[in-house]
Structure 1
């Protein structure tokens, strides 16, 4: 646990390394929460979510415990370690467990704000931290709320977390609305409904395609929607390469975002 070695040294009575035993780590944290503490768990996404799914369901969600889980290595951040260290399904998995919150900040500043807003709210909350944050756009955010970055009329871009830089570059001169989401559960339906003047939606999400599709339909009921995606495809990633090579291969790029946005703008409703 080199990433928190300084914390382990500074707070030996408040921090411990459980080791590669994530399911037990969740159960330990559940016991602490039952005694009134507010535990924080740190690890990498696939082991925190896929290895411990039963503990998340029974120890945390079922008992309605206030525990914070901070996961690094989102999607393909650990590109060189192969499929065992990938977790593009994290958002979809957690959002299917009722009562569990999911936060995906796009920068260190946003993480601190969202964490401080929510860590004592009595809910189980997952924080998806990426090694590739936005560097050009870092708007103020609020837990549970989407940010309206830009208003337009021809289409609505729903962008999540670290894809904001790419979306802003792609759409800077397009007549579109851009809604920036860092809290994915609970989902802000109100902002979506108030800022979707067209029925054309482009979802840009740095995880599996379709992870927010249910929320888009729920937030815009009784509409005939035209929806496009820029996201990782729902497949097993068997290719190798750097993070940037994977992003380019799966087309999570400004060029593809612009192409999809222009397609929606030009398409007949």
Structure 2
């Protein structure tokens, strides 16, 4: 199966052909995949070289002229390194773009910590007005990329990963998908962690919600699920643990509830290893998730606690 990033260049190249507003801005990474598109649209496919602050600034300038820029590089170079430009050139100036990242939290372990960005979504959470898509399958990535480009002049972040679920789900760029219904808690699986969550909860009486759009969070769907399954919520995210617990707490602020946020830990893992070994080390494989979900839901039976 191809990867989410494999879909990126073909989808955006077609959008360049279809929509004269679409532009692509690159910082060396991924340029070869746009070779043909650059020949067809030399004024709308721009490679600024290894200059990530310029990458964002140039994209914001294109947005000010009325174009819809799609900006791509590794997450650590797209969100973390040029964060001041993301904050000012887009947010302060009121411009929009589609930021599309690769490498995610630990997709390229051999690249070391410089190429890992588990804090990217949490960092964008400090800014106003960003939509955040986290697809879990290449088909979903294609759908959400099209949604993002078509979203007027909004600010959108699409987080691509080499991790993928076995099958695509029907996603629409806005709503949670109910994958399984139960009565003893709600587990929200974000993007490529759905399969691990389903394996971990196979015999548990819990509702499993699937999130590929985490900002804004689909509050009505979450509230409906907790009415039937109770207000113990486990949140499983493929980036920094606890990133979305505040969003869940806000959604349930009028109800007694508990939230457990699972995700990538803050401690740096200094061995390269494999993607699977990093997932296991952070407790994001089926075995690690089952242990912590059992502990949380078991501790909450018969108790009502608000966090």
The alignment of Structure 1 onto Structure 2 pairs a total of residues equal to 268
Provide, for residues 148-203 of structure 1, a one-character-per-residue CA deviation record: whole Å limited to 9, x for no partner. 11111101001100000111112122110111111111111111111113121111
Alignment TM-score, normalising by the size of structure 2: 0.83
The structure 1 residue matched to 2:78, chosen from 41, 48, 54, is: 48
Q: Name the CA distance, whole Å, in 1 between partners of 2:120 and 2:37.
A: 31
Partner of 1:11: 38
Q: Is structure 2 residue 262 aligned with structure 1 residue 230?
A: yes
Q: Name the CA distance, whole Å, in 2 between partners of 1:236 and 1:264.
A: 25
Alignment of 1:117-156 (within 5 A): 117-121=147-151, 122-135=153-166, 137-156=167-186
The structure 2 residue matched to 1:218, chosen from 250, 254, 271, is: 250
- For residue 195 of structure 1, give the secondary structure of its aligned residue in structure 2: helix
RMSD (CA atoms): 1.5
Deviates more, 1:233-242 or 1:166-175: 233-242
Alignment TM-score, normalising by the size of structure 1: 0.94
- Gaps of at least 5 residues in structure 1 are none
Partner of 2:10: none
Asked if structure 2 preserves the Cα contact closer than 8 Å seen for 1:113 and 1:141, the reply is yes
- Gaps of at least 5 residues in structure 2 are 1-27
Partner of 2:291: 259
- For residue 77 of structure 1, give the secondary structure of its aligned residue in structure 2: coil
Alignment of 1:109-188 (within 5 A): 109-121=139-151, 122-135=153-166, 137-188=167-218
Deviates more, 1:159-168 or 1:188-197: 188-197
CA distance 1:241–1:218, change in 2 (3 Å): same
Provide, for residues 18-50 of structure 1, a one-character-per-residue CA deviation record: whole Å limited to 9, x for no partner. 111011111111111111111111100001011
